Amino acid sequence: MDQSIVLEPVGPADSAVIWLHGLGASGDDFAPVVPMLRAAGLTQTRFIFPHAPVQPVTVNGGMLMPAWYDIVAMDLARKIDVAGIRHSAQRVDEIVAAQCASGIDSSKILLVGFSQGGAVALYAGVRSVVPLAGILALSTYWVGEQDASLHPGVPPAELPIAIHHGTQDPVVPFALGESAKSALEALGYAIEFQSFEMPHSVVPEQLAVIAQWMTTRLHDNSR
């Protein structure tokens, strides 16, 4: 059984948000923002916050902690174990498939991730063979170039991607957010990139932007 926090709407869900936390955190991290998102209009959205498995992380001396994959070095290349991120992406695929089986169209499912979770959201979303409502990548980086077998699952023009990054981020440097934007644009994706004056975090004014973006992606019937 999948280990996730699931927050159901009142009444049947017509859409879903799958939100992945950062290294060493848990699905509880972003669950508190759901009331604000519901107040912004996402009243019929199911919110799913998966917990990453506990595993050793090389850059932290092999310490056991919740992680979507191992991080080998804390350099600008952000070298990761490809097998690990593939495994996490498969888990995202399974969650998406379960939502579709429950009656939610894949085009009404958003992938969101912060930091390490954002890297998984980007990787899983790009390789997804079903159309999604979009990907929101927060304070993260792109690892796709580390997997030569990675190919877009649907045409890039059909997958909206937004990237947010803090200009004062000491954990995932702002340059990595910019390089993620450039790499994805080179693959044909149209990227909405926004910077915020913040460290490795999420700030209130950013949450307002997130709420607006989610509402547009999930309730714009012209799509």
pLDDT of residue 79: 77
Ramachandran bin of 115, using left for φ above 0, alpha for ψ from -120 to 50, beta for the remaining angles: left
Match 């992945």 to its residue by tokens. 20
Q: Where are the domains of the chain?
A: 4-219
**Mind telling me the catalytic residues?**
115, 169, 200
pLDDT of residue 76: 59
pLDDT of residue 86: 95
Distance separating alpha carbons of residues 197 and 179, to the nearest angstrom: 18
Query: Residue 180's closest CA among 135, 126, 122?
Result: 122
Query: Residue 121's closest CA among 22, 214, 47?
Result: 22
pLDDT of residue 77: 67
**What CATH number was assigned to the domain covering residues 4-219?**
3.40.50.1820
Ramachandran bin of 203, using left for φ above 0, alpha for ψ from -120 to 50, beta for the remaining angles: beta
Instruction: Return the beta strands (E) in the chain as ranges.
Output: 4-7, 15-20, 45-50, 54-57, 63-66, 109-114, 134-138, 161-166, 191-196
Exposed e or buried b per residue across 48-76, where buried means at least 16 C-beta atoms within 10 angstroms of its C-beta: bbbbbeeeebbeeeeeeebbbbbbeeeee
Question: What tens-digit pLDDT sequence spans the chain (223 residues)?
Answer: 469 999 999 999 999 999 999 999 999 999 999 999 999 999 999 999 999 999 999 989 999 999 999 988 877 566 788 899 999 999 999 999 999 999 999 999 999 999 999 999 999 999 999 999 999 999 999 999 889 889 999 999 999 999 999 999 999 999 999 999 999 999 999 999 999 999 999 999 999 999 999 999 998 744 4
